[in-house]
Amino acid sequence: MTSKPLPRELSPEALRRACDPGQFAFETTAELKNSFETAGELKKTAEVLGQGRAVEAIRFGIGIAREGYNLFAMGREGMGRRTIVRAFLERDAPRRELPPDWCYVFNFEVAHRPKAISMPPGRAQKFQADMAHLVEDLRTAIPAVFESDEYRNRRQEIESNLGEHQESAIGTVGEHAKAQGIALLRTPAGFGFAPIKGDGVMGSKEFAKLPEDEQKRLEGAIAELQKELEHAIHEMPKWRREAQRRLRELNREVIRAVVASLIEELKSTYADIAQVVQYLAAVQADVLDHAEAFQQSKDGETPTLFGIPLPQADTSESTLRRYQVNALIAHAPAEDGGGAPIVYEDNPTHANLIGRIEHIAQMGTLVTDFTLIKPGALHRANGGYLILDALKILTQPFAWEVLKRALRSREIRTESLGQALSLISTVSLEPEPIPLDVKVVLVGDRRLYYLLHEYDPEFGELFKVAVDFEDDVARSPETDAHYAQVIAGIAQREQLRPLDRGAVARAIERGARAADDAERLSLNMRALADLLREADYWASVAGRSVIGTEDVQHAIDTGERRAGRIRERLREEILRGTLLIDSAGTRVGQVNGLAVAELGGFAFGMPRRITARARFGSGRVLDIERESELGGPIHSKGVLILSGFLAGRYVPNQPLSLAASLVFEQSYGGIEGDSASSAELYALLSALADLPIRQSLAVTGSVNQQGDVQAIGAVNEKIEGFFDLCAARGLNGEQGVLVPAANVQHLMLRADVIEAVAAGRFHIYPVSTIDQGIELLTGVPAGERGPGGAYPQGSVNARVERRLADFAARGRGAGSERQSRKSWRGTPPRKS
């Protein structure tokens, strides 16, 4: 009846590409340490396995010194992106020059714009200390000058001059008053005039006794004297200003020499840095203007309010702060060992990237100055490399924008977020921007890279080097050996017990399983390291000094068990009959599909009942999942393909007059993917042909319009999911799974599955076409069209075609009936 033989079930050997421990020349991984020169070499070898493309991109990105050639290291989590990039940067960094130091100093011309000074590495801290010493020296030298007899005499001369001037002016008024019998009194806040009587002041009663004329004379005289006094007092500020000017000039004159000698010494030390020399000249001029700030603090009178001392800002200290140096970036060549810096910023906020301007509370307000400018990651990485997590920087407010701005403008402009967004308008600092020369490495997943490329027009300009990390590598004896070295490297770095050959082989097999491909190995180094750490723990529990196969297997099993609560609950529900899944018997229009669920990084397969019902209709296959909005677009696409298959294969010259419905029974969540499309087709064919399907088999695979079965993902989990159910119910030798033949190369099944297959208690069939599958499921040949164009009698296809032909005939009948009803009604009259 059929021309093509049914596929043979897979042999145990085809179910898993085992790693032969015999291929390794070592007994344990401890021996591998000696195979390499240094630990660094081992590390390097370990980390670049299978990442040739990425390594090439990193080398290119590091090497090219052009604008915009920053790197984006993309790939899945755990692929070692950060570690590999950092390893290469660390190798390159020492070959580059140590970047210059940067200082912020006071800007004597525009106080709120601190000046940035660049100087050779290692000199910023020295400059900072030198300036501190200079201030200390000035604080000693200037008061000494002020204490000298010469200065004191000249100062006293100025002060006395002023005092005499003032006293003379007041005294003259007093003399005028005295001549008229009036005293000039010193009052708490000024002066007053009163008539004299004897040694004292005339009282009000005595005054009242005076003749009226005398009273008027005295009052008039006092009014005149008051005017005279007011005039004299009005003149005083002018004299005081003059005295202050003379005093300032005196200060400048006497300290000029001592200031010059101290600053000249510094100028000669920093003669090679023009900016510093220029700054020191400005300092010199400023010190002459603010000599009084260098006076030691006096026991001045503290202002009081109702007797309570008021806090007072130390003005001399705040004036002296202006001579400090903020060594923003100070490299220590002896300690750093030279080379470009490599900075990883774990928390790339706006402030942590470009620095921040801190404030201190003073007299109830927040104040700041250039000494409170703190560096950001860009400052620290300037002249070297900055590594950032793409997701972190994108989730921090305005951090991405500020990074792009800095890279675009090639300078670091430190400003608060409030300033940048013009949210605050209080006076703050605008530090002079620092030129930026940095290579940024963003580490993120591919989705972010493609999204940024798509939606951020600047991204492509600024991150021209894509470092694309592979997820897995092709498996070969060489790769296995290389992988063994990786394992040895991790064990060494993590200080784990050495692994014996069997354990290494088991870890490699696990790598293939993680890659979901018998012919590839996963490059997820984090997962591998976790497996080794856990295996080491179990070895320690077992009291072994070497990690064996059983320890690695135990680590795998316990890991799955820890994550497998939901899988077990689902299986339990099936065994209890809550979820209806048959694994024996036959049934029309019902097949066991296989679904896979991934929760918390743990994937597991589970059988699902798929049913189909067919009747005469309008040629539509109804996907209940889609109608109930539980099916994803790919699943819907798979179902629509079924209509195409049916229409193309059966009753080709007649319309498809079928109404069919398909459903994943007891599915309460979303269904996505087309891996069940072949199962759905089998159920539909069974329903149309009215042939029962073996429930001891489960099916996976997608199908195309030609009826070819195509590969799907997670084939191992799906097989094991059905196997576990059957095993729990008892393997009877009938059970098995139909998998796409294209998936055979991906099989890395568990040992217990392979044992069952070897014992003939479980079967795995590689299926290439729907015909092969339906024959295996129904036991009835599918049948091929004969020379006359008809399918062999009794075959599945003949039964299906006959049913569809019946539907089509009924469809034609219904069509002609509708047509006759239309004719009877007649055609509407044409409008003229």
Partner 1 sequence: MARNAATKELKPRRIVVGLAALPSSRAALRAAADIAARTQAELIALFVEDANLLEWAGLPFAREVGLTSAVARTLDTVAMERRLRSMAQEAQLALAEMARGTPLRWSYRVARGALMTELLAAAAENDLVVAAAVAEWTPRRLASSAHAAVLLVQELVRPGTPVVAACSSALPPVEAARMLQNMSGMLGHDHEVTVALLCESTEEAARWADEVRKSAPDLRLHVVTARNEAELQTRLAALRRPVVVLPEAPPGPGAPQAARSSRPRSRRRSP
Chain residues binding partner 1 by CB under 8 A are 156, 160, 183, 185-195, 200-204, 207, 219, 222-223, 226, 229-230, 233-234, 236, 299, 301, 304, 307, 309
Q: How far apart are CA 132 and CA 198, in angstroms?
A: 64
Estimate to the nearest angstrom the gap between the alpha carbon of 738 and the chain centroid: 43
230 vs 249, which CB is nearer to partner 1?
230
Q: Which entry of 416, 696, 718, 795 is annotated as an active-site residue?
A: 718
Sequence letter at residue 828? P
- Give me the least distance between CB of 297 and partner 1, in Å please: 14
Question: C-beta of 158: minimal distance to partner 1 in Å?
Answer: 12
Tokens of 11: 């042999």
For 580-707, strand residue ranges (E) read 586-588, 590-599, 602-616, 620-623, 658-664, 692-694, 697-699, 702-703
What gap in Å lies between CA 461 and CA 444, rounded to an integer? 18
Cα distances (angstroms) measured from residue 644 to each of 202, 649, 655: 127, 8, 12
Q: Which CB atom, from 189 or from 423, has the smaller least distance to partner 1?
A: 189
Shortest reach from residue 189's CB to partner 1, in Å: 6
Residue 166 Cα distances to 152, 175, 242, 244, 727, angstroms:
20, 14, 13, 14, 114
Rounded-to-integer distance, Cα 283 and Cα 289, Å: 10
Nearest distance in Å: CB 146, partner 1: 14
- Asked whether the beta carbons of 501 and 539 are under 8 A apart, the reply is no
Tell me how far, at minimum, the Cβ of 143 lies from partner 1, in Å: 14
Beta bridge partners of 473: 521
Q: How many CB atoms lie under 10 A from the CB of residue 52? A: 11
Gap between the terminal Cα atoms of the chain = 65
Q: Please identify, using beta-carbon distances, which residue of 153 and 823 lies nearer to partner 1.
A: 153
- The label of the residue with tokens 């055979």 reads 744
Q: Respond yes or no: is residue 675 known to be catalytic.
A: yes
Residue whose C-alpha is closest to residue 122's, from 92, 97, 140: 97
Q: Are 629 and 824 in contact (CB under 8 A)?
A: no
Shortest CB 212 distance to partner 1, Å? 13
User: Helices 633-649 and 677-689, interaxial angle, to 10°?
Assistant: 40
For the CB of residue 250, give the shortest distance to partner 1 in the complex, in Å: 16
Q: Work out how close the CB of 198 gets to partner 1 at its nearest, in angstroms, rounded to a whole number.
A: 11
**Residue 181 Cβ vs partner 1, minimum distance, rounded to whole Å:** 14
Whichever of 155 and 408 has its CB closer to partner 1, that residue is: 155
Instruction: Tally Cβ neighbours within 10 Å of residue 32.
Output: 23
Nearest to 658 by CA among 684, 679, 632, 624: 684
Task: Name the H helices within 673-830.
Answer: 677-689, 715-729, 751-758, 770-778, 796-825
Which of 299/478 has CB closer to partner 1?
Answer: 299
Burial letters for 417-428: b for 16+ Cβ neighbours within 10 Å, e otherwise? bebeeeeeeeeb
Nearest of 413, 523, 541 to residue 469 by alpha carbon: 523
Active site residue 816: no
If you search the block for the tokens 């012919």, which residue do you land on?
A: 519
Report strand pairing: 702-703 vs 620-623.
Answer: unpaired
d(C-alpha 275, C-alpha 72), whole Å: 37
Q: How far is CA 658 from CA 807, 810, 824, in A?
A: 7, 10, 28
Nearer to partner 1 (CB atom), residue 224 or residue 411: 224
- Residue with Cβ nearer partner 1 (40 or 309): 309
Structure tokens at 334: 């002896």
DSSP strands (E only) in 394-483: 411-412, 434-435, 439-444, 465-468, 472-474
**Shortest spacing between CB 426 and partner 1, in angstroms:** 33
Measured CA to CA, the distance from residue 710 to residue 186 in angstroms comes to: 112
Are the C-beta atoms of residues 524 and 76 closer than 8 Å to each other?
A: yes
Catalytic residue among 416, 522, 643, 675: 675
Nearer to partner 1, 195 or 631 (CB): 195
Minimum CB–partner distance for residue 166 and partner 1 (Å):
10
- Between 202 and 594, whose beta carbon lies closer to partner 1? 202
Residue 209 C-beta: closest distance to partner 1, Å = 13
The contacts of residue 500 (CB under 8 Å, 6+ apart) are: 27, 28, 546, 547, 548, 549
The dihedral sign for the CA sequence 765, 771, 774, 776: negative
Question: Is 231 or 493 the residue whose CB approaches partner 1 more closely?
Answer: 231
C-alpha 76/C-alpha 471 separation (Å) is: 7
Closer to partner 1 by Cβ: residue 216 or 245: 216
Residue corresponding to tokens 């409008």: 831
d(CA 270, CA 214): 80
The dihedral built from the CA positions of residue 669, 671, 672 and 675, taken in this order, carries a sign that is positive
**3-state class of 736 per DSSP?**
strand
Residue 159 or 253 having the CB closest to partner 1: 159
Rounded least distance, CB 191 to partner 1, Å: 5
Q: Which is nearer to partner 1, 196 or 367 (CB)?
A: 196
User: Residue 708 has what DSSP assignment?
Assistant: B
Reading the block at residue 629, the tokens are 């909005």
Please give the positions annotated as active site.
675, 718
